[in-house]
Chain A
Amino acid sequence: MQLTVNGKPESIESKDSLNITALLEELKVKDALYVTVELNGEILERENFDNTTVKNGDSLEFLYFMGGGR
């Protein structure tokens, strides 16, 4: 499956369907507890990470609140 992650192409092998929680693990996204996920330009609520799956061609942004004592 071909995805665009933070503006760069990303290939995920042998996965037909993957939810956001699994994708964060697969891509070893750092500070997964704090990351904000945008799927095709829409912010995803954290409670929907498990029931939202990505498909071929999707574009994702993994964003962080920066600074401020963290």
Chain B
Amino acid sequence: MDAQSSFHFETLLIHGGLEPGPAGATTVPIVQSSSFAHATAEDLEDIFRGRKAGQIYTRLNNPTTDSLEKRLALLEGGVAAVATASGMAAISTAVLTILRSGDEILSSSSLFGGTYSLFHDTLANYGILSRFVDPTDLAAFRAAVSPATRLIFVETIGNPKMDVPDIAALAAIAREGGIPLMLDATVSTPYLARGRDLGADLVIHSTSKYINGTGSTIGGAIIDNGTFDWKSPLYPHFELYAKKYRQFAFTARLRKLMHKDLGACPAPMNSFLLTEGIETLALRMDRHCTNALALARFLQTHPKVAWVNYPGLEDSSFHDVATRQFGNRYGGLLTFGLYSQVEAFRLINALKLARNLANIGDAKTLVIHPASTICVDYPLEQRLLLGVSDELVRVSVGLEHEKDIIGDFSQALEAL
């Protein structure tokens, strides 16, 4: 792995963590076995005690999943990575590794609905409260750090609000408070920016999205950058792990407790599909970005469109920070507004190429009306906090020819 760390990103996407397979296989073997036999009782004891490496049980580790984890850690520049059954499994497992009853999360108010539900409802039932603050208002964010804050959580590009916080500035607030910054980088991917370079201690991905890239697989990942000092007195439950595992303290605690206990492990087949999909991430993201910019520019000039929110547009209030943070690339996700929910529904129903479904990051162009679907359970006030108005349509711009994508939206808008 150390020899590979000098490779460029595009090379690591293909070769990172890839060992020569049986019979010269060039893809990661799918090791579809629930558990792994060892020659002697002493061998298995040594593995359990941590004296030597070895596979035990696929809920804990698996050779196929290990390849995926190695590649993700290399791509993010982290010290370790853990693959999970889904993006929500990654967030749940990671936050529960850090937080105890009475602790607080200082969270971006611009969140994926599933994360909002976890923080606002589920964790509150266990005495873990969340404060939701606009991550682009740095003064408000800093002021919201309380003596109970033990985690700062932000998305690189808010989904579906499409706001772009200044991650380095938020990382500075986290450092001032001695609190780790956990970054959900699903929408930006490590190709647009590595969380480590922006100052994040922990990075989350729903690998179901751009990392898979084909809409075939559900998965998640937690990358530990090894940058947070877990010896801090704010985290007494990490004391032994920090002493024993140093820069691996977080991942060691996660693997020994929450990942083992919650059991949200990926199937080996899904880990294989993710290692296949990730190979083309850089090429795909470039096309997602150019197609999204082209569609955003088309929609912006269309008389039936009220507004367009895409950080790649020069008049976006997030253009400057996104340009700096993501190197002139702005991702494949955009939202736009019509003039009513009725018009939004009519548009979606008139689209012929774009699929109406609840996902992003597919090779295919996808649309959804978030207010009536993924955010339907929220009261109006909470929904507006997430940036989801009635007239909003979200588009995950795919890899088709840009003229076909624009043509589809053009004919659907004409039909309104």
- Whether, in the assembled complex, B13 has its beta carbon less than 8 Å from a beta carbon of chain A, the answer is no
**Min CB–CB distance B388 → chain A (angstroms):** 35
Q: With contacts defined as CB atoms under 8 Å apart, how many contacts are there between chain A and chain B in the complex? A: 73
With an 8 Å Cβ cutoff, the count of chain B residues facing the other chain is 37
**Residue in B closest to A36 when the chains form the complex, CB atoms:** B244
- Whether, in the assembled complex, B61 has its beta carbon less than 8 Å from a beta carbon of chain A, the answer is yes
**Residue in A closest to B246 when the chains form the complex, CB atoms:** A46
Chain B contacts for A63, CB-based, 8 A? 49-51, 244
B interface secondary structure, majority: helix
- Whether, in the assembled complex, A41 has its beta carbon less than 8 Å from a beta carbon of chain B, the answer is no
A36 to B245, CA, bound (A): 7
- Whether, in the assembled complex, B46 has its beta carbon less than 8 Å from a beta carbon of chain A, the answer is yes
- Residues facing A in B242-277 (CB within 8 A) are 243-246, 248, 251-252, 255
A55 to B1, CA, bound (A): 36
**Residue in B closest to A37 when the chains form the complex, CB atoms:** B244
> In the complex the two chains form, is B52's CB within 8 Å of A64's CB?
yes
> In the complex the two chains form, is B50's CB within 8 Å of A67's CB?
no
> In the complex the two chains form, is A69's CB within 8 Å of B81's CB?
yes
**Min CB–CB distance B22 → chain A (angstroms):** 21
Chain B contacts for A64, CB-based, 8 A? 50-53
B binding-site residues for A, Cβ under 8 Å: 1, 17, 42, 45-47, 49-54, 60-61, 66, 69-74, 78-82, 223-224, 240, 243-246, 248, 251-252, 255
A binding-site residues for B, Cβ under 8 Å: 6-7, 34, 36, 43, 45-46, 61-70
Q: Show 11 residue pairs from A and B whose CB-CB distance is below 8 angstroms, ordered by the A residue.
A: A6-B51, A7-B45, A63-B244, A65-B248, A66-B53, A67-B60, A68-B69, A68-B80, A68-B81, A69-B71, A69-B72
